[in-house]
Structure 1
Amino acid sequence: MSLTDAAARRTAWYERYERWHGLDRALLRSPAQTWFRHRAAGLLAVLGYHGVEDPTTFAAHLDRLTETATPLSVDRVEAALRDGSPLPSRSVLITFDDGDPSVLDHALPLLAERGIPAVCFVIAGLVGTDEPFWWDELTHLLSHGGVCRAIPSGLPAPAAAYALKQLPDRQRRDALAELRATATTPPPRARQLTGTDLRALEAGGIAIGNHTLTHPCLDRCDDGTLRHEIEDAHRLLTHHLGHPPTAFAYPNGDFDSRADALLQSLGYRSGFLYDHALSDPAGQHPLRLSRLRVSTRTTPARFATVLSGLQPAVYRTGLRVVRSVRQVRGRP
């Protein structure tokens, strides 16, 4: 099976799982939820959002956290990582990836109203531009006749994005260049956050973190590109903020050991994956903290079981089963 076929199958399985809300309700009523929720009390739930597509649902998430958890700032988490002090029971850290403008428009006022801090990991190379996120550009190019050797015709955009992320970064960039050259129309311009916006977010309680310069998967980059992506983003964010960022999030959650020493030399105190698991600050490296995948489309039932760790455990078990079946059948 080709890489793109595997990408299509994995993406289809994930989308079916995301729509399986009957399972969420069953998990919420399960006795296992009580056990997982008890266990989660001593761990850190780092919630990984992207944009705020549904402000009403996001507000409901925040209200639940206010009632049942202890939201913390990234500074408070980093202080605990540094001195080994325990975190409060049911600690939660809210994070956003990429720097979508909806974080400024919708998340900031809702968080500020409740006094809840957060951190937003920004793609530094897009700050102050009107360039779209590369995966949004990909969707547009594919729907307007764009073709390239790396993506077979008719592959859905989510599967195409997943397939490109598996390629060496130079090949991913080449594929996007082919798509731009063959599409009938260029992608529309996109509003991005400005330096002034970043400072407004920080003033309102949303810290700014580094999410690289252009959002490649670092484990697919050569040494020079990896250094350029981290260091240049660090320099730009320091310029915009007036101080260096101390938190870093791996694009796509893909850890790369080459980044460790570089991040430490730049003064980073926390680093975040996207592995859909609760975080154990006492047992994990401070630059490899786990995060839970959520969005403003996450239902109340799923939100509760994500916070407890039950839904992530079931999800990871499902992935292992799917991979085992494919191996038995000789598929990637």
Structure 2
Amino acid sequence: MTGARVPILMYHAVAADPSPATRALSVTPEAFAEQMAVLADRGRTPLTTAGLAARWRSGRPLPARPVLITFDDGYRGVHRHALPVLAGHGFPATLFVTTGWLRGGYDTGGAPDAMLDWPQVRELADNGVEIGGHSHTHPQLDQLDDARLCAELTGCRDIVAGELGAPPVSFAYPYGYSTRRVRTAVRGHGFAQALAVGNALAHRAQGPYALRRVTVRRGTDAEEFERLVDGRAVGRTFARDRALTQGYALVRRARRLRRAV
């Protein structure tokens, strides 16, 4: 199954009453539990990000009907609501942490909602959740100069390593934005694979530093979730998102060129 297309689900907050800033990209605890039941009922086999990339890198076959469950940023509901559901199914997952947003000694402020603390992150790690990096302050990495880009990656990597005893090997780009320069820097900081967004199924030919994900949000109903997992009509579902992303990419490229002059 090295040529398989794999749904990598991208979650953010799991909360009954999220902040306005995270509401659109949140899911309710009830919806998350129902979605995990769908994966179980359909015989899906969850993998961590590192597990998927390692199999593709080595050429080892994937398990039957693979899927990835990923969370960005580090919101408190991942521990409070998602972990018991994941543990109940025996599902592994990956959490990409913005280290400057988590509660503790590295907090830079600016977190958009209630965040995890480091004891909760360690408990997640102890229960089958891979902890990956998501930068230190959640900037658009492709807009940073080399020094600031390095600081974001180094800070995130070293804080996770210090708190968990090992450096993270997987990374997710904030906002999904990356360029060749950003991907090279991520690789140079010891990350073996990285996830974008793209709202498409992941496959080996994308390369280990540009694996795509599909967004699960508050408006994702049961029927749409099943379509996303099965890879049906993903293009139509996210057509508007892709158009907006392409337009904004041109704007960001123009900004980079102006700064370079």
- TM bracket, shorter-chain basis: 0.7 to 0.9
CA distance in 2, matches of 1:262, 1:205: 28
Identify if the C-alpha distance between structure 1 residues 125 and 132 changes in structure 2 by more than 3 Å, giving closer, same or farther. closer
The alignment's TM-score, normalised by the length of structure 2, stands at 0.80
Deviation, structure 1 residue 318: 4.5
Work out which of the residue numbers 47, 54, 70 in structure 1 matches 2:45. 70
CA distance in 1, matches of 2:203, 2:226: 19
The alignment's TM-score, normalised by the length of structure 1, stands at 0.64
> Does the 8 Å contact 2:100/2:109 carry over to 1?
no
Bigger share in strand: 2
Deviation, structure 1 residue 275: 1.0
Deviation, structure 1 residue 272: 0.2
Q: Which residue of 2 aligns with 1:295?
A: 217
Identify if the C-alpha distance between structure 1 residues 121 and 221 changes in structure 2 by more than 3 Å, giving closer, same or farther. same
**1:84 maps onto 2:59 in alignment:** yes
CA distance in 2, matches of 1:82, 1:231: 25
Q: How does 1:3-14 map to 2 (within 5 A)?
A: none
Deviation, structure 1 residue 296: 5.2
Identify if the C-alpha distance between structure 1 residues 318 and 73 changes in structure 2 by more than 3 Å, giving closer, same or farther. closer
Identify if the C-alpha distance between structure 1 residues 240 and 297 changes in structure 2 by more than 3 Å, giving closer, same or farther. farther
Q: Which residue of 2 aligns with 1:155?
A: none
Identify if the C-alpha distance between structure 1 residues 66 and 221 changes in structure 2 by more than 3 Å, giving closer, same or farther. same
Bigger share in helix: 1
Letter matched to residue 213 of structure 2: R
Q: Which residue of 2 aligns with 1:112?
A: 87
Question: CA deviation digits over 1:308-328, x for unaligned, max 9?
Answer: 33342113444677899xxxx
Identify if the C-alpha distance between structure 1 residues 301 and 257 changes in structure 2 by more than 3 Å, giving closer, same or farther. same
Q: Which residue of 2 aligns with 1:249?
A: 172
Determine helix, strand or coil for the equivalent of 1:126: coil
Question: CA deviation digits over 1:95-138, x for unaligned, max 9?
Answer: 0000001001101111001100101100011223476645x3xx
Letter matched to residue 8 of structure 2: V
CA RMSD of aligned residues (A): 2.3
> Does the 8 Å contact 1:46/1:94 carry over to 2?
yes
Structure with the bigger RCO (C-alpha within 8 Å, sep 6+) is: 1
Work out which of the residue numbers 3, 7, 13 in structure 2 matches 1:51. 13
**1:100 maps onto 2:75 in alignment:** yes
Identify if the C-alpha distance between structure 1 residues 200 and 296 changes in structure 2 by more than 3 Å, giving closer, same or farther. farther
Q: How does 1:98-177 map to 2 (within 5 A)?
A: 98-129=73-104, 133-134=110-111, 136=112
Identify if the C-alpha distance between structure 1 residues 313 and 322 changes in structure 2 by more than 3 Å, giving closer, same or farther. same
Count of matched residue pairs? 229
